[in-house]
Amino acid sequence: MIETLVKSIFIDGKWQTAESDQTETVYNPATMDAIADVSYGGKAETKKAIDAAHKAFSSWSDLTGRERSKILYKAHEIMLEETDRLAKILTTEQGKPLKEAAGEIKSAASFLLWYAEEASRSYGEWLPSSIKSKRMLVIPQPVGVVGAITPWNFPASMITRKIAPALAAGCTVVLKPAPETPLSAIEIIKILERAGLPNGVVNLVTGDAEAIGTTLLTSKNVRLITFTGSTKVGKYLMRESANHVKKLSLELGGHAPIIVFDDADLEKAAAMSLASKFRNNGQTCICANRLYVHESVQEKFTKLLIEKVRELKVGYGLDADTDLGPLINQQASQKVQTHLDDAVEKGARIVYGGKRLNGDLNGYFYHPTVLSEITDDMLVMNEETFGPVIPIQPFSDEDSVINKANDTDYGLAAYIFTENTSRAIRVSEKLEYGIVGVNDVFPAVAEAPFGGIKQSGIGKEGGHYGMHEFLEMKFVSMGI
Ligand code: ADP
């Protein structure tokens, strides 16, 4: 146990337990040890949190952007100073290797910095009027109270990506983190507290997802739901938001293809495919799900890839030389197994890995796995595996591989490897995805828009686009 934390609910500047005194245990997925007990809140706590956020809205939105900016900037500084401590907490509750956790904390801090800078740049417009006796203004205003619901795969950066632009825009927030990873959320709120955030501006409710969700959805004071998670829950939130016609920003599932053309730098393509697939053990919504490799280079590419996969060390995230940690839970491990069994049953060949890792490790560990002889009807080619499995399929021409890459309900991220600039542009334009990486698999940065199309979501996080989600454009029409 790191600590027994029962006061994990933060409302109007006060840490508190659930009214029912109920708690929920957080486990380390690498060791299965219980690491903390957090408060299990529900309707009553969420209602109070919404009231606090609603009350704080007028004074927070009244501040100048520069004043809000100072708090975000301070929070960014504290977060960077405490990277090592925060990374350890993140790895302990989530499992990812410590170096990845430290990278995530730095990325989370970069969103605080970017939106600290952006807070004083939410520009309006003066429209040239078609009527001489009128003047027309467009003024950006914060949408109001925001309900933010975040997942366990990036327990820190998914929070700052939402909270930082919301606060910069002048919104107030009720945050519900994933039950698997509330400790990182608690730390982020403590940092904002230390940075001087006024009471009620950000509130945290841990506990019953359904009860918290329903309370956010049914409150007319919550004007926007910003969510990262599964497409299934995203669709539910969308349906239920209809009653109050709430704004929505949804970052949902993906099924990213990587296309390796015959003119690619194969060494780079293999290294980056590996980095994309095995980052966070495949538990990333933009990580590669399927690889299409040109038939003329498939053998060479697969050989290069296997050489690199062999070098990956699976283990406890807290051990310095670990490349792959555990999967988050039993359900995740079972899903990987189901996808593998389905692929093998339909004729796939296991080129490397292919089984759970036993031995000394207690948690949900899985061998990094590479599959060939892949057919389009396999689960791995259609659903998010969210685990360390790479299916490789050959292709012969550009048009057919683009069709295959686009043949999915998802549209979050796609990647291509080519040294031909014309092809890079041509294919990027044709891929039906919100994000395309050309010889690059790390497109999530604070200054750029991140978001999917089709069933991968609505709206953008990051860059000045990310601010727009939290602003309404009010039109003021003036007769003079
Ligand atoms: P995953 O399967 O990756 O855990 P989910 O979409 O289930 O993805 O979870 C993402 C976030 O959504 C988590 O914080 C989870 O607790 C929350 N969540 C799940 N179901 C609901 C719900 N009915 N209402 C509100 N939030 C929910």
Ligand 1: centre distance to CA 338 (Å): 22
Place of tokens 């697969």: 302
Ligand 1 within 6 A of CB of 179: yes
Establish whether residue 229 lines the binding site of ligand 1, counting it when its CB lies within 6 angstroms of any ligand atom: yes
User: Is any ligand 1 atom within 6 A of the Cβ of residue 178?
Assistant: yes
Of the candidate CATH numbers 3.30.700.30, 3.40.50.920, 1.10.3720.10, 3.40.605.10, the domain formed by 9-252+455-479 belongs to 3.40.605.10
Per-residue pLDDT, 361: 76
Residue 363's pLDDT is what?
Answer: 86
CA distance 162 to 175: 9
Q: Pairing mode, if any, of strands 457-458 and 247-251? A: antiparallel
Helix, strand, coil % in the chain, rounded to nearest 5: 40, 25, 35
Residue positions annotated with a catalytic role: 251, 285
Class of domain 256-444: alpha beta
What is the pLDDT at residue 265? 98
Write out the residue limits of the CATH 3.40.605.10 domain(s) in the chain. Answer: 9-252+455-479
Spatial distance between the Cα atoms of 267 and 459, rounded to a whole number of angstroms: 35
Give yes or no for residue 359 having a pLDDT over 90. no
pLDDT number for residue 268: 98
Cα(229) to centroid of ligand 1, in Å? Answer: 6
The CATH 3.40.309.10 domain(s) of the chain lie at 256-444
Strand 349-352 and strand 369-372: the pairing is antiparallel
- pLDDT at position 360: 67
Distance CA 83, CA 80 (A): 5
Judge whether 78 and 113 are in contact, CB under 8 Å: no
Q: Name the helix (H) or strand (E) containing 137.
A: strand 134-142
Nearest CA to ligand 1 atom 9: 229
CA distance 160 to 342: 38
Centroid of ligand 1 to alpha carbon of 471 (angstroms): 25
State whether the beta carbon of 155 lies less than 6 angstroms from ligand 1: no
Shortest-distance Cα residue to atom 24 of ligand 1: 213
Determine the distance separating the centroid of ligand 1 and the alpha carbon of 213, expressed in angstroms: 9
pLDDT at 2 (0 to 100): 53
Q: Where are the alpha helices (DSSP H) in 24-174?
A: 43-62, 65-81, 83-94, 98-118, 157-169
pTM > 0.90: yes or no: yes
Per-residue pLDDT of 181-222, as tens digits, reads: 999 999 999 999 999 999 999 999 999 999 999 999 999 999
- Tell me: the pLDDT tens digits for 131-182? 999 999 999 999 999 999 999 999 999 999 999 999 999 999 999 999 999 9
**What pLDDT is attached to residue 329?**
93
Does residue 11 have its Cβ closer than 6 Å to ligand 1? no
* Cβ(69)–Cβ(170) below 8 Å: no
Place of tokens 């998802």: 410
H helix or E strand, kind and range, residue 9: strand 9-11
Closest C-alpha to ligand 1, atom 11: 151
Task: In whole angstroms, give the CA distance from residue 156 to residue 182.
Answer: 10
Cα gap 478→150, rounded to integer Å: 42
Residue 64's CB is within 10 A of a number of other CB atoms, namely 11
* Predicted pLDDT at 5: 63
Is the C-beta atom of 233 inside 6 A of ligand 1? Answer: yes
Q: Find out whether 212 and 187 touch, Cβ atoms under 8 Å.
A: no
3-state secondary structure of 15: strand
- pLDDT tens digits, residue range 240-292? 999 999 999 999 999 999 999 999 999 999 999 999 999 999 999 999 999 99
**Does 31 score more than 60 pLDDT?**
yes
**Which residue lies with its CA nearest to atom 18 of ligand 1?**
209
ipTM of the prediction greater than 0.95, yes or no: yes
Question: CA-CA distance, 38 to 44, in Å (whole number)?
Answer: 16
For position 335, what pLDDT does the model report? 95
